[in-house]
Structure 1
Amino acid sequence: MPRWRNLAAMLAVALTASTGCTDANAGNDADVVVAASLELSGNAADLGVAYQRALELRAAQINASGLLGRRRVTVRFQDNRGDPAIASSQITAFTEDPSVVAIVTGACAECTIGAAERIDARRKPTIALSPVAEVSAPVSQRRYIFRLAPNADDNAVVLGRELGRAGQRRLAFLSSDDAYGRGGTDALTREAGKIGAKVVAHAQYAPSDADLGHAARAALAGNPDAVVVWGYPPQAALAVAALRGDGYHGQVYLDADAAGDLFLGGPAANTDGTALVFIQTLAIDDVIATTPAKAARRQWFQDYTSHYGTYHGHASFAADALQLVANAVARSGSIDGETLRARLETSQIDGLSGPIRFTPNNHSGFMPQALTMLEARAGRWRLAG
């Protein structure tokens, strides 16, 4: 039996022991079908493909574990190309399909927000992998939508603390001109004020831009001590390359959603020395596995890397999303939407991405204590210091 099957079996036993669900699904045979609308092409394909790979691998692990008894979890994928109209059509079809138990959506905030009313009306539990708070809030209008991704406010707090520690007082922001970038800018501006830093420039780029030279020059016009880049992985790498190409040798900081592949090649080869706020899993080789949760994260990292040849930082969020759905089914013995929603909003696990806690009043489950500082060294991400 492959080692990841052994790990999955151990995790399933632990879950059963902690929840008191002993073979709750023994008499149920219906598959647990999860539908995923992801950005498998277009500007955010880097993230979408990582989510797809993680969901496929985690589904195999869950099925090998026996967590769901005779049931099997299957994932159906559709490419929304980062287009809210396409995503809305896909998600609408998912909500109307009685065989679909739950939905996973990707980084595109508008793609989920545009379908929010239909998701709630059809009572279809949905976990979004978007960093934008409005995807899952207010809860009164998003009863069936949960969110699992680093939060802008939490990212900004960690970055602000690091900027203050390093004595960076003249800051430039370089961010995407969308809900994700604007939310990050607002959060980081607040944190900069708390450490007495001055924002000397703020440059934006369109999510579809491939040439970030103009934005980089605008960010550097204020002669900053440090530049904070707030963008998804491909454009974050392009932004750093543009800054270095313009002769900037100061410190560059990245927010959590800029995390991409473990190994830094192509445009990302220019990121050596760059700081990143993210979770430990991307640099798990530097972490001593002193707890079962850390051991599970290390094993997940190794399994994903052995399957796909590298590791993508955001893979663990997608894997945790699927695990949360499987756990909700295992705990309740049901695939009813209302039952699963109730289970999800009281879920508490030490996931592959870190501690996750949902409550009836907060459908954003990722906990900020999982965030730490990483740095690019010798072509890969490492724990800072």
Structure 2
Amino acid sequence: MRRTWITALALGVSLTVLAGGALAQDKRPYKIGSVFSLTGPGALLGARMKTTVEMMVEAVNKKGGINGHPVELVIYDAASDVTKAVAATNRLITQDKVDIITGAGNMSGLSLAMKPIAMRYAVPMISNAGASGIVEPIDKSAWVFKSHLTDREVIGRAIDYWKSKGITRVAMLSDTSGFGTSARDELKLQAPGAGINVVAWEEFGMAANDLVPQLTRIRAANPEVILCWTVAPSGVVFMKNARQLGMKQILMHGFGYVVPKYMEMAGDAAEGAVLVSLRFPVGTQLADSDPTKKVILNYIAEHKAKYGSEPDVYGAEAYDGMTMALKALEAANGFDKEKIRSALERLEFIGTNGLYKFSPQKHYGLTKEDAVVMEWRNGNWKLLMGADTK
């Protein structure tokens, strides 16, 4: 393995991965670009994404590449910052001349900012983030895809869980990023028709370190559940402040907070916290009949063998995203970006997080039934509501 580190001014670091010897050096490489947040508030999400895509590209190259062509991977750190994500995207396309981008900032706000650039230059982009606006409306998202659910499905799954428990009174506490506002808007759309009364709407900045004022107003509204929506450490503040105020409500997070480190940081305040997630964190608890279980266990074993540590759900999102990119490049059998884009629209495969099926009308391959509900209990995730594997 040969690795070259390139300083990229405000962009952070670029990593190019190529295999040695075995690959035909006279063949043009397929170039895949990735933008992850490896520093800043989203850093805990980006770390395993980076190690995962590096591992996958190395493995592909050791097997001879794609259609005999080596694969070159270029990674930039967006530092959880929209401006840096936009600069990195422009650089990937105009200077690095990548054939496809997978891993669009690992935060919805960053993916939404990167989307117009991918559209302008007609370069296929795969996001690992959740906001529905990343791939909708479809007539304005022709070059953008997702290895994730949209927040529409995740909010819908949360509502399924509430209804199964007879819960009707909910409060929402969301950050002001694109991720938080998109989920807030989805809940506003879905709650009335589902018989859910959202009794309080509160917001906070991603750097917030005191949520007592918002939680005090929420407490006065007397909800049964408080749904927090963020990827930032302020979600830990939410859990701690709520318990410090003596609040007994169910504390709930969306799919941007499936990070054991955050739960550990919250300590006792995280015990019993409920989250909506993709399958990966409870992979070992899935039924053997679930087709994703084998993929999950294989991925865990590969990552542990290479790095000595297990991956997380965000690494799994990157795994499925890179799988999409590699399969599309193989199917296109060339460098025509329209053929690569068209191949993405025809993909069907079993990933770590569900059964993916794309189409020209749907640029994210999962459904609400691919989501699970789980809780943090005694230092581990415990499955509460499983995925529908029909």
TM-score, normalization: structure 2? 0.84
2:131 matched to 1:132?
yes
Aligned pairs for 1:2-151 within 5 A: 29-66=27-64, 68-97=66-95, 99-104=97-102, 105-151=104-150
2:362 matched to 1:367?
no
Matched residues in 2 for 1:327 and 1:157: separation? Answer: 30
Matched residues in 1 for 2:83 and 2:128: separation? Answer: 18
Q: Deviations over 1:226-271 (max 9, x none)?
A: 2111221633333122212211122122222221238941226532
Q: Deviations over 1:309-339 (max 9, x none)?
A: 3432221111111111111121222132121
Aligned pairs for 1:180-191 within 5 A: 180-191=179-190
Once the two structures are overlaid, the 10-residue window that deviates more, 87-96 or 49-58, is 49-58
Once the two structures are overlaid, the 10-residue window that deviates more, 351-360 or 212-221, is 212-221
Aligned to 1:8: none
Matched residues in 2 for 1:127 and 1:64: separation? Answer: 24
Contact 2:191 2:197 in 1 (8 A): yes
Aligned to 1:15: none
Alpha-carbon spacing, 1:291–1:362, altered in 2? closer, same or farther (3 Å): closer
Q: Look up the SS of the partner of 2:208 in the other structure.
A: coil
Q: Look up the SS of the partner of 1:236 in the other structure.
A: helix
Contact 2:348 2:356 in 1 (8 A): yes
Matched residues in 2 for 1:81 and 1:262: separation? Answer: 19
Alpha-carbon spacing, 1:66–1:247, altered in 2? closer, same or farther (3 Å): farther
Alpha-carbon spacing, 1:288–1:108, altered in 2? closer, same or farther (3 Å): closer
Matched residues in 2 for 1:289 and 1:61: separation? Answer: 27
Aligned to 1:332: 332
Once the two structures are overlaid, the 10-residue window that deviates more, 175-184 or 115-124, is 115-124
Residue type at the aligned position of 1:265 = E
Contact 1:263 1:379 in 2 (8 A): no
Unmatched 5+ residue regions in structure 2?
A: 1-22, 386-390
Aligned pairs for 1:151-190 within 5 A: 151-190=150-189
Once the two structures are overlaid, the 10-residue window that deviates more, 299-308 or 141-150, is 299-308
Matched residues in 1 for 2:140 and 2:190: separation? Answer: 29
Residue type at the aligned position of 2:373 = M
What RMSD, in angstroms, separates the aligned Cα atoms of the two structures? Answer: 2.5
Matched residues in 2 for 1:140 and 1:268: separation? Answer: 45
Matched residues in 2 for 1:258 and 1:384: separation? Answer: 17
Aligned positions, number: 361
Q: Look up the SS of the partner of 1:143 in the other structure.
A: coil
Q: Look up the SS of the partner of 2:248 in the other structure.
A: coil
Matched residues in 2 for 1:72 and 1:126: separation? Answer: 20
Q: Deviations over 1:183-215 (max 9, x none)?
A: 212222343323433222222111222333333
Q: Look up the SS of the partner of 1:283 in the other structure.
A: helix
Alpha-carbon spacing, 1:67–1:366, altered in 2? closer, same or farther (3 Å): farther
Unmatched 5+ residue regions in structure 1?
A: 1-24
Residue type at the aligned position of 2:132 = A
Q: Look up the SS of the partner of 1:265 in the other structure.
A: helix
Identity of aligned pairs, percent? 18
1:154 offset after TM fit, Å? 0.7
Q: Deviations over 1:272-309 (max 9, x none)?
A: 21111112211112123335542111221333355353
Aligned to 2:17: none
Matched residues in 2 for 1:26 and 1:331: separation? Answer: 20
Residue type at the aligned position of 2:83 = A
Q: Look up the SS of the partner of 1:256 in the other structure.
A: coil
1:341 offset after TM fit, Å? 0.8
Aligned to 1:342: 342
Contact 2:300 2:310 in 1 (8 A): no
